[in-house]
């Protein structure tokens, strides 16, 4: 599938996500098993050595993720366009829900929060960035929820579109 050509972008972003890292470090490697608990593999070196130092690519992967949000939003806008005019089908709704969950995941990212206000020393001197940082912080508190919702929505949206394109199902039109 051509989707594999672009999979590296979202894949790198998700694989290096702080939330998923916590989950797979604890679940699969038991390193560390939990806060202040000694890991199962002796000394703990954090993410200071190869290959885990590559996790730092996350902050750069965020920029690619934002590009994908723009592309998916454009796709969702085009989903209103039918051969006989402007309409809305179940597929349109599914695509918009997917964009909302993915945007929630991308903009609740820890790197995004840092980018918006993490480098500001005095918030009163940067009220705009402070407001943005507060908003992102509220989203960030639900980052884990967005991580799971978007993980399923992206897969199910792809499946729905694939089944439509193969003629297995028909899109119900809402208006």
Residues binding ligand FES (CB under 6 A): 17-19, 58, 109-111, 143
Task: State in angstroms the smallest separation of the CB of 72 from ligand FES.
Answer: 16
Nearest residue (CB) to ligand FES, 64 versus 160 = 64
CA–CA separation, 88 and 65 (whole Å) = 27
Question: From CA 39, how far away is CA 174, in angstroms rounded?
Answer: 53
73 contacts 99 by C-beta, under 8 angstroms: yes
Shortest distance, CB of residue 172 to ligand FES, whole angstroms? 33
* Closest distance of CB 84 from ligand FES, Å: 40
Considering beta carbons, is residue 115 or 161 the nearer one to ligand FES?
A: 115
- What is the rounded distance in angstroms from the CA atom of residue 55 to the CA atom of residue 23? 14
Is the CB of 92 or the CB of 101 nearer to ligand FES?
101
Spell out the residues 6+ positions from residue 19 whose beta carbon is closer than 8 angstroms to its own: 143, 144, 147
């Amino acid at each position: 599938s051509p989707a594999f050509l672009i999979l590296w972008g979202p894949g790198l972003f998700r694989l290096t996500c702080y939330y998923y890292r916590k989950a797979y470090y604890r679940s699969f490697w038991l390193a560390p098993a939990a806060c202040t608990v000694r890991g199962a593999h002796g000394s703990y070196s954090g993410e200071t050595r190869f290959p885990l130092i590559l996790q730092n690519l996350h902050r750069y992967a965020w920029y690619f993720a934002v590009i994908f949000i723009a592309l998916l939003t454009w796709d969702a806008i085009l989903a209103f366009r039918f051969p006989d005019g402007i309409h809305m089908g179940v597929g349109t709704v599914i695509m918009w829900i997917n964009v909302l969950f993915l945007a929630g995941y991308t903009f609740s990212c820890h790197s995004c929060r840092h980018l918006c206000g993490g480098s500001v020393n005095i918030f009163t001197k940067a009220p705009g960035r402070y407001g943005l940082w507060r908003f992102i912080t509220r989203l960030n508190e639900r980052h884990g929820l967005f991580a799971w919702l978007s993980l399923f929505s992206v897969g199910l949206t792809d499946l729905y579109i694939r089944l439509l394109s193969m003629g297995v199902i028909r899109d119900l039109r809402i208006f």
